[in-house]
Structure formats: C-alpha cells, structure tokens
Structure 1
Amino acid sequence: MSMFTRRPFYYRLSEGMRISVRPHYVPGHSFPPLQRFVFAYDVRIENISRRTAQLMSRRWTIYDSIGEELEVVGDGVVGLQPILGPGDVHEYQSFSVLKSSRGWMEGEYYFRTTDNTYFTAFIPRFDLIADPEWISDEE
C-alpha cells in the first residue's frame, strides 16, 4: 500500500456540489527551523446536481496552531473559473504555508448558474499536520 493512499480524505456535499480534499505535508519544500511548513492539497469539485454552474470565486480560512488565522479571497481557483455541467468534475492542486506543524483550512466556493442565480458550496474543514504518514509518494 502506498503512503499516498493513507492520506486523509475529507468531503462535503452542499448545493449539489461534492467537494473533496486530500491534504499532504511537503517536507522537501518545508524548513521547520525557520517555521516554514508547506502543505499541498488536492481538490475535486463534482457537480452532482441537474444544473450547470460556474465557479466564480472562493474564500479560504487558514488557521495555524500558533494562533494565526488568515482569510484568502479571490476569483476562481488557480486562475480558472470552471463551468461544471451535471456530472462534470474539476480537479486542481494548490498549497499553503504555515509557521507551525499543525493547522486547518476550510472555505467556500461561490457559483453562478446559467440563469444568473448564485449559491455557495462549502469546502470541508481539513487538517494540515506535518506527519510522515501524510507524505505523498509523488514528491
């Protein structure tokens, strides 16, 4: 069994969008003596509704166990504003840098449907832990 498959998996269903996240610690880009802990996370957005919607923007809350909390707001995800029809999936990878070995993230995606109504799909809270079990084989 690969270490990659042991990484935790989080998901949440809201407004017909199933949001799945798999975080992992990236030791090769981290430097703990200088309080730099890098975490990557794979996101899968699956439209299980009967409506087409475009991901317009996002909001993340990033919490570091040293007590710092950061809010990140922006258009789309990794430079894209994907349109998801019924059954469509959009996947991407991103990262976050913490000053400590533990924290969490959660957030929201804001979508617009073809009839110009807006809705929010919630991103599940997921843990960021610098644990050797959470390292990807792909690094």
Structure 2
Amino acid sequence: MKNNIRITVQVVPLPQHTNPSESKYVFAYTITINNEGEIGMQLLSRHWVIQDETGYIEEVTGKGVVGEQPHLLPGESFEYTSGSVIKTQTGTMKGEYNMINDAGEHFDVDIPEFVLSEPYTLQ
C-alpha cells in the first residue's frame, strides 16, 4: 500500500498537574507515526476532537505537531509527546493528520480514538 501510516498512542496521567477541585485533569500522550508505505510523506497539519465526560467537545487544529512538520521516508517513524487538559476524570481524543506524499498527493490519516483516564486498580 502506497500511503500506509500506522499510528500508536500511549497516555500517561500527570497527577502533579491535576487539580480535581478546579476540574482540571492533565494527561500527556506520546504518539508514534510509522511510515509503512512505499513512498515518503510529510505531515502538514493536525485536527483533534477532545471530549470529556460531560459531552463537552474541544476541537484543535494547527500546522504540524509540536512545531514540526516531519517528513518520513519508507520505514521511518516520528515520535512526539504532547498534552491535554480536560475538566473530568476521563475523556477521549481522536482526530486526523493531513499529509502529502512525495508524489504530491494529499491524504488524511485517522488517529483512532483513545481514552484519557487515570489508571484504576481493583482491590
């Protein structure tokens, strides 16, 4: 497949920045973008849909990720860490990256929905 991008996500709660009395829950997420295709491609922009437990939705769009527009040759990957602040203990994020391949073709890559949540243990 020519434009074959694999996205993986890891979420880490940041309790040192979280303040439940202010309805402020902070999470870091690390995303790895792998080019498993047959052609080089560049990430141009991002679009996020962030939703908390109340149903409140925040949309975020912007150029690149963490100030970069990485170009990935076949077999290369790019990893970055960013963060999100929501008003409830759990929420979700999903979105897409707009990319262009080295043949000049624009395409979107879906970022599968993932959960922002504190880890829970059963006792």
TM-score range relative to shorter protein = over 0.9
Q: Structure 1 or 2: larger helix share?
A: 1
Map Cα deviations across residues 90-130 of structure 1 (whole Å, 9 max, x no partner): 00000000000010000101111112110111111000112
Q: Give the 3-state SS of the residue equivalent to 1:81 in structure 2.
A: coil
Partner of 1:4: none
Q: Which one of the candidate residues 45, 54, 64 is aligned to 1:66?
A: 54
Give the structure-2-normalised TM-score.
0.93
Partner of 1:11: none
Give the structure-1-normalised TM-score.
0.83
Q: 2: CA distance between counterparts of 1:79 and 1:92?
A: 10
Q: Which one of the candidate residues 74, 79, 91 is aligned to 1:91?
A: 79
* Gaps in structure 1 of 5+ consecutive residues: 1-14, 134-139
Map Cα deviations across residues 46-103 of structure 1 (whole Å, 9 max, x no partner): 0000010000001000001122101101000000000000000000000000000010
Partner of 1:3: none
| Alpha-carbon RMSD | 1.1
Contact 1:16 1:47 in 2 (8 A): yes
Runs of 4+ in 1 over 6 A off after TM superposition: none
Partner of 1:131: 119
In the superposition, relative to structure 1, how do residues 132 and 27 fare at CA in structure 2: closer, same or farther (>3 Å)?
farther
Partner of 1:40: 28
Contact 1:63 1:70 in 2 (8 A): yes
Partner of 2:90: 102
- Number of aligned residue pairs: 119
Q: Give the 3-state SS of the residue equivalent to 1:33 in structure 2.
A: helix
Name the structure, 1 or 2, with higher relative contact order (CA <8 Å, separation 6+).
1
Q: 2: CA distance between counterparts of 1:110 and 1:70?
A: 19
Amino acid at match of 2:85: V
* Gaps in structure 2 of 5+ consecutive residues: none
- Is 2:10 the partner of 1:22? yes
